[in-house]
Amino acid sequence: MADQNPAPETVHVTIDGMELDVPKGTRILDAAAMAGADVPHYCYHPGLTAPAQCRMCLVEIEKVPKLQPACVATVAEGNVIHTQSPKALEARQGVLEFYLVNHPLDCPVCDQSGECKLQDYTAAEGRAIGRSLEPKRVLGRDDFGGDVLFYADRCVMCTRCVRFMREVAQDERLAVVQRGHRAVIDTFFDEGLEGNLWADNVVDICPVGALVSKDFLHKARAWDLDRIPSICPNCSQGCNVRLEVRDNQVMRLKPRTNEAVNSHWMCDYGRLNYEWINRGARIEAPLVRGEDGALAAVSWSDALTRLAAALRGASGPSRAVVSPFMANEDLGLLRRVMEATGGGSGVYRCPTGEEVVLPGFPTLALRTDRAANPAGAELFGFTRTGGADGLGGLETIGGDGGTLWVLGDELSDAPADFGASAGVFVYVGHFLSPAARNAHFVLPATTFAEMEGTFTNVQRRVQRFWPALQAPGMARPAWQILGVLLAGIADAPAIATASDAFASLPQFGGLAWAELGQQGAPLPSYAQAGD
């Protein structure tokens, strides 16, 4: 892009003593960030319009009489800007003190504590001792409907939530009512935010503990959470998220910014649908059917040696049922194993629902396919079967003879004798369902939350996720299991890492692992069409 267009016009500015050239029209707040200066702010949010009303981001510009709001003021040639000068600091201290005149300071019981901008800024540069002697104004709490609870006394009136509902959700359900110090955020009607799929984003963008999630309420302290970059698994949009984890349990999902996919947002369906990731009763050891016909736990080397031997004896094309919740690498390695053992075909089943677009960022939608990776399944040659509920369609596949692979699909709706008459039935998955018990080999795989790997989203963008939870027992990533197996049955190099697995799959069309980063990259064959 930069090659084709003339270089943008730049201006030379000095920010906190650092001289730099920035594009003309850059807001001072962004220019300061380029110079490494974090200008405190509340009302400004990069995904919303800037009302310049919190007055936290006031900075001093030499030769300009008044302090200027860095969120709307743009750089001009020769500006000498101070974000930390006594004047700017004093202004921020004044604003912070104003916020605390009526703030309840209930940090010990506030969910936002530890990730609260009022706390952070006050600790960093606020007055040590407040001067207000007056009784505080008390407004109380309000149930805003949906997952959102409102603690009015903690509110800093930045109006981000109002602007999100107006500008991005385009469903004006929040408003500022009253004015002056009596002003408060409120809903219009009894249902409040109930029924709006995007409402929980107001919790994310609330800089303080005024808007909190009922689902997360008092569940964990912010400082006890580990935050791992991941991909929302609940639809094919592939929103960039963080899995926020405590005690090996996912506590909540939060969006990560990615302008190519989800901007700063994610839907409530995806966000609140995480309990399944924490589901227990997992398969914790490789199980192999013994002479007596019963499954018995064995070591990995034992299991894979015996599986390799069994596959060498098998003949004819194999069949597979894969899950669209499995990683590209899992699906790709299975395809490679199948190809190394006489080829074959496979299906996947995907639950679906109604698509709901976010009006203010229409490339983001809760997609019809309610799984992370149907595009990945297609990429590796698996075809869709079953109904809109992601069930059925397995009538012929469990049939007689041959090799049957099941990867990740729990087979919750399969008949009790599913796969019982297959020559070799290998079940690589998470839960020992009745149908899975028919397998000759039951191999415990990790979920996306426990491993490294990638998903391909609906726009054919390949995006990485990282391990957030410890895998139960001996469970291993399916790509690793299948990679080791492949090395045993074919003359293939061992697959040791997710990047090895990725690099071994030609279906990515030359896309390099290193290109993915934390923001992903489109498949080369789609990149042209996409851009």
Partner 1 sequence: MAYPYTHPSETRVISRYFGDPEARTLKGWEQRGGYQAMRKALGMTPEAIVDVVKASGLRGRGGAGFPTGMKWGFMPKKAPGTPHYLVCNADESEPGTFKDRELMRWTPHALVEGCVIGAHAIHAEHAYIYIRGEFFEAAQIMARAIEEAYEAGYLGKDILGTGIGIDVTLHLGAGAYICGEETGLLNSLEGRRGEPRVKPPYPAIAGAFGKPTAVNNVESLIAAAHIVQNGADWYKQWGTEKSTGTKLFCVSGHVKRPGNYEVPLGFNFKEFIYDVCGGTPDGRPIKAVIPGGSSVPILTGDELDIAMDYEAMAAAGTMLGCGSVIVMDDTTNIVKQVRRMVDFYAHESCGQCTPCREGTAWAAKILRRFEQGRGQPDDIDTLLAISENMSGRTICVLSDAAAAPITSSIEKFRADYEALMAPEPALAGAGLTGAAHGSVR
Question: Which region among 141-149, 175-183, 247-255, 295-303 touches partner 1 (by CB under 8 A)?
Answer: 175-183
Residue among 12 and 127 whose Cβ is closer to partner 1: 127
* Sole binder of partner 1 in the list 86, 180, 313, 510 (CB under 8 A): 180
Question: Residue 1 or 133: which CB sits closer to partner 1?
Answer: 133
Distance CA 363, CA 161 (A): 21
- Contact flag: residue 1 with partner 1 (CB under 8 A): no
Contacting residue, 13, 29, 61, 67, with partner 1 by CB under 8 A: 67
Q: What is the DSSP string of 270-286?
A: HHH--GGGG------S-
Residue 321 contacts partner 1 per CB under 8 A: no
What helix, strand, coil percent values describe the chain, rounded to 5?
A: 25, 25, 50
Contact pattern for partner 1 over residues 125 through 164, marking x by CB under 8 A: ---xxxxxxxxxx------------------xx-------
Touching partner 1, residues 183-202 (CB under 8 A): 183
* Non-local CB neighbours of 318 within 8 Å, separated by 6+ positions: 338, 341, 342, 343, 344, 402, 403, 404, 405
**Cβ atoms of residues 88 and 67 within 8 Å:** yes
Nearest to partner 1 of 53, 497 (CB atom): 53
| 181 is an interface residue for partner 1 by CB under 8 A | yes
136 or 312: CB nearest partner 1: 136
| Distance in angstroms (rounded) separating the CA atoms of residues 250 and 267 | 17
Determine how many CB atoms are found less than 10 A away from the CB of residue 330.
30
Q: Could you tell me the smallest distance in angstroms from the CB atom of residue 92 to partner 1?
A: 10
**Cβ proximity to partner 1, 105 vs 310, nearer residue:** 105
Token digits of residue 316: 């004819």
Q: Which stretch binds partner 1 (CB under 8 A): 10-18, 173-181, 300-308, 437-445?
A: 173-181
Give the residue with the Cβ less far from partner 1, 159 or 446: 159
Closest approach, Cβ 212 to partner 1, in A, equals: 21
The residue (of 156 and 481) whose beta carbon lies closer to partner 1 is 156
Task: Please give the helix or strand (H or E) that residue 119 lies within, else none.
Answer: helix 117-125
Please, which residue, 101 or 296, has the CB nearer to partner 1? 101
Nearer to partner 1, 133 or 529 (CB): 133
- Alpha-carbon Rg for the chain, nearest whole angstrom, is 27
By the rule CB under 8 A, 246 interacts with partner 1:
no
Interface residue with partner 1 among 11, 32, 56, 243 (CB under 8 A) is: 56
Find the part of the chain contacting partner 1 (CB under 8 A) among 65-73, 295-303, 369-377, 381-389: 65-73
DSSP structural state of residue 525: H
| Residue-wise burial string across 146-172, b where 16 or more C-beta atoms lie within 10 A, e elsewhere | bbbbbbbbbbbbbbbbbbbbbebbebe
| Least separation in angstroms between CB 176 and partner 1 | 7
Per-residue H/E/C for 95-124 = HHHHHHHHCCCCHHHCCCCCCCHHHHHHHH
CA distance 530 to 488: 40
- Phi/psi for 258 (5° steps) reads -150, 105
CB of residue 98 vs partner 1: minimum separation in angstroms?
4
Give the count of residues interacting with partner 1 (CB under 8 A).
41
- Hey, how many other C-beta atoms are within 10 angstroms of the C-beta on 129? 6
The residue within the footprint of partner 1, chosen from 20, 33, 34, 52 (CB under 8 A), is: 52
* Site stretch for partner 1 (CB under 8 A), options 98-106, 194-202, 319-327, 333-341: 98-106
Length of the chain as a residue count: 531
Dihedral angle sign, alpha carbons of residues 190, 184, 270, 472: negative
Is position 218 an interface residue for partner 1 (rule: CB under 8 A)?
A: no
The whole-angstrom separation of Cα 398 and Cα 421 is: 8
Strand partners, 58: 69
Contact between 63 and partner 1 by CB under 8 A: the answer reads no
178 contributes a contact to partner 1 by CB under 8 A? yes
Contact present, 205 and 213 (Cβ < 8 Å): no
Residues that bind partner 1 (CB under 8 A): 51-56, 58, 66-67, 69, 72, 91, 94-95, 97-103, 105, 128-137, 156-157, 176, 178-183
